[in-house]
Chains A and B, each alone.
Chain A
Amino acid sequence: MTHSKHFEDTLLPKIIRPSVSNALANVDEEFSDAVGLKSRIDDEHYILELSQIYEEKRDWLRRIYFGEDAIKRSVGKEDFWLDMHKIAAVLCRSILACKPISFNYKVACDYLEKHDKSKDINWLSKNFLINYKIAVDVAMGICFYDLIDRLGDDENKKKIENVDGLIKKLSNSGRLDYYSSPTFKQNHSNFYISLIEMLATNDTHNRNFDYLSFATICFQLQNHNVLEYKYNFMLNKNLELEKKASPKKSKK
């Protein structure tokens, strides 16, 4: 069996590989050596397994949404596809089912205790919870591309003032902007880490993955990016107007 062309051509090089490489680049080397951390991303069997899980779960969700015959009905038509928020949720779930990074969890638990790392959530999110970080990153990668795609629509160009600026901002940062937490500075995980915590807690307690809630989070994050840009754009515009107006006031 082989995996589908779009998985190999698009998802793997554009979203999954960059997410895994980025996560590996940020792992604590001492931890990595101690627990025998290994990436499975170059293993053909792993890719095949991941793509099969992804397609199985995607088609299952399509059948739930559009009926048992959705897959038959979509052949040759641009119809009955899941929206990108749900695709993001499906890919996230697939990563959880087929984790790209393997390491000795028992040794890792001992390492956390020995090095007093079990409460350092920033460190944990990059090391012990690396698979969950990758799951969040792949989902948000899809949301990133989806948002830029939709910003290119003529309708959205009319709705958002200076949409070109937003496209350039997103392209330059290479990702979506996560919510900042101005009111929760101390002892509170930020939005990004909260997502990792949520996935890890649900996974380890064998709770069912909630595709639709995760898709809603994706929707909200995209909207946050657009609204924050609009807000900052308006703010800058008002500041410029005030600057222009102020010399006149001083002359008076």
Chain B
Amino acid sequence: MIFLYLLIAIMILVAIVGLVNFLIKKYGGSRTAYSDNDCAHMIEKLCFNNHSKTIKKCINDAEKVAENHGVVLNYLPYNGEKAEDDSL
């Protein structure tokens, strides 16, 4: 009999915790105007700025810009040269 009472008490406790959790989430838990799911859905629907150039066109155009200035572009990765580190 005592186990039955104990079981009922646990069930009531779980139900209260669940209800409180639900109420917090619905009415006051979120700091934003939207719940997390709504927010994620909104962000998915946003339209980000797009770019109208492919990498190939970008590189070709950069080479043309350099050519117009009488120079040839050759990418030379950095190797930790001292002079550049102290450039300011």
Chain A residues in contact with chain B, CB under 8 A?
6, 9-11, 14-15, 18-19, 22-23, 26, 65-66, 78-84, 87, 122, 125-126, 133, 137, 140-142, 144-146, 148-149, 151-152, 164, 167-168, 171-175, 177-178, 180-182, 190, 192-193, 228
Cα A19 to Cα B53 with chains together (Å): 23
Cα A246 to Cα B50 with chains together (Å): 52
Nearest neighbor of B76 in chain A, beta-carbon distance: A174
A10 contacts B75, CB within 8 Å? Answer: no
Nearest neighbor of A83 in chain B, beta-carbon distance: B51
B73 contacts A10, CB within 8 Å? Answer: no
CB-CB < 8 A to B40: which residues of A?
none
CB-CB < 8 A to A82: which residues of B?
51
Query: What would 7 A/B residue contacts be, using CB atoms closer than 8 Å?
Result: A10-B59, A81-B50, A87-B55, A167-B69, A173-B84, A175-B77, A181-B85
Taking chain B's interface residues, is the majority helix, strand, or loop, or is none over half, making it mixed?
A: loop
A183 CB → nearest B CB, Å = 10
CB-CB < 8 A to A66: which residues of B?
47-48, 50
Nearest neighbor of A125 in chain B, beta-carbon distance: B80
Residue B49 CB within 8 A of the other chain: yes
Cα A126 to Cα B86 with chains together (Å): 20
Residue B4 CB within 8 A of the other chain: no
Cα A140 to Cα B87 with chains together (Å): 18
Contacts of B35-67 to chain A: CB distance below 8 A: 47-56, 58-66
Among A83, A122, A148, A181, chain B packs the most CB atoms within 10 A around the CB of A148
B86 contacts A180, CB within 8 Å? Answer: yes
B87 contacts A177, CB within 8 Å? Answer: yes
A100 CB → nearest B CB, Å = 13
- Known contacts A152-B62, A193-B80: A81-B51 contact under CB 8 Å: yes
Known: A19-B77, A145-B59, A175-B78. 6 other contacts (CB 8 A): A10-B59, A87-B55, A148-B62, A148-B66, A178-B85, A190-B80
A144 contacts B54, CB within 8 Å? Answer: no
CB-CB < 8 A to B72: which residues of A?
171
The 10 closest A-B pairs by CB, nearest first: A174-B76, A152-B65, A137-B77, A171-B71, A149-B62, A6-B56, A83-B51, A148-B62, A145-B62, A78-B52
